[in-house]
Amino acid sequence: MTALLSIRDLSVRYRRDGVEVAALKGVSLEVAAGERLAIIGESGSGKSTLALAIAGLLLASSKIGGSIEWQSQPPRSVTPPSVLPDISPARGEIALSSLPSPTVNVAEGEPSAKLPISPLAGEMSGRTEGGAKDRQPLHFQPVGGRDIGFVFQDPSSSLDPVMPVGKQIAEVARTHLGLDWSQSLARAKTLLERVRLPDPDAALHTYPHQLSGGQKQRVAIAAAIAAGPKLLIADEATSALDTIVQAEIVALIHRLVAEDGMTLVFISHDIALAARLAERIAVLRHGELVELGATAEIINAPRHAYTRALRDAHLDLDAEPLLDRQGASV
Ligand SMILES: Nc1ncnc2c1ncn2[C@@H]1O[C@H](COP(=O)(O)OP(=O)(O)OP(=O)(O)O)[C@@H](O)[C@H]1O
């Protein structure tokens, strides 16, 4: 399979209370175009940091080493390209984001603010820095976030509480697909249908607080895919939901990814959930990639003791089979 992006020797360090935290330590992996990749590990293992690094959403104060290199652009299967919505949990609203340069190549310890396009720094901006226009991109360059959709754990903090959800989705379409308001609202309605919100016409006018947690997450997913991204990153997108709703959201993500031909990076601490959705699983521990393989291999024949422990811990807690032995079962 063609690689969509290659991550090489990626390390990320945060600074907190004067102390440096090494969140990622030399992680290398490729994400193939069209695959469903899960990244699992315990709390603090660096999963979110990896997701944010891929999306170019790391704090400007973080120190980044290594590279993230995007390969040639695969054919888009959905609507015209556009800038995608960044649903920023830090800001509690849908913001319009830009990605960093796809080829992020920074010396270890160099501030990420020196990246060609600034990462998250209080608010997302599409400004280029450091004379990015003069650079000759060697690879496909994702523009203004249009190529990555991001779904965060908590839909309550990723949606604007005082804006009807239809408008939140339509805003994305209007701004970035060049549609007028009626076209944008029609698109929002179609997206609400696609994420199976009951009565999409009425749902257009509802506010987030009028929806259940699962419904809010459906809206957040609709907004994340409104621009037709080629890569969808779901960061613990089901963790705040009860088990039944979790399964529904996993099924929804699986269907949308298949329908739109997206690549999926699914972040989860739950190996069972990951196994239901992903074709490959990457296991992070203390910021290091300890194992990467086909889902069936990871589940049935894990090589690393840590992966075995994750699997066995799950088996101890839940008698349900982790995998239907046929791969993703949704
Ligand atoms: N903004 C930040 N400032 C300082 N340290 C951070 C920051 N974000 C994360 N860290 C630290 O970096 C490490 C990796 O965190 P990260 O959130 O990537 O892990 P995770 O596997 O996603 O955890 P969880 O499942 O709990 O979300 C942890 O030690 C965490 O405390």
Give residue-wise pLDDT tens across range 97-149. 333 333 333 333 333 322 332 333 222 222 223 333 333 334 455 543 467 89
Looking at every residue in the chain, the average pLDDT score rounds to 79
- 176 band by pLDDT with thresholds 50, 70 and 90: confident
52-72 pLDDT tens trace: 999 888 999 999 999 999 886
**Ligand 1 within 6 A of 290 CB?**
no
- Kindly state if the Cβ of 208 falls inside 6 Å of ligand 1: no
State whether the Cα torsion 202-204-210-214 is positive or negative. Answer: positive
List, for residues 3-59, the tens digit of each pLDDT value.
999 999 999 999 988 899 999 999 999 999 999 999 999 999 999 999 999 988 899
Pocket test residue of 17, 27, 45, 266 for ligand 1, highest count of atoms within 8 A of CB: 45
> From the CB of 59, is ligand 1 less than 6 Å away?
yes
Cβ–ligand 1 distance for 308 under 6 Å, the answer no
Which residue has the CA at smallest separation from atom 26 of ligand 1? 43
0.90 surpassed by complex ipTM: yes
The reply to whether ligand 1 has any atom less than 6 angstroms from the CB of 286 is: no
Residue with tokens 């690879």: 139
Q: Where are the domains of the chain?
A: 3-317
Measured in Å, residue 63 CA sits from the centre of ligand 1 at 14
Closest CA to 109 of 195, 14, 206: 14
In CATH terms, 3-317 corresponds, of 1.10.10.10, 3.40.50.300, 3.40.50.2000, 3.30.70.260, to 3.40.50.300
- Reported as a pLDDT band with limits 50, 70 and 90, residue 178 is confident
**Per-residue pLDDT tens for 67-99?**
999 886 544 444 433 333 333 333 323 333 333
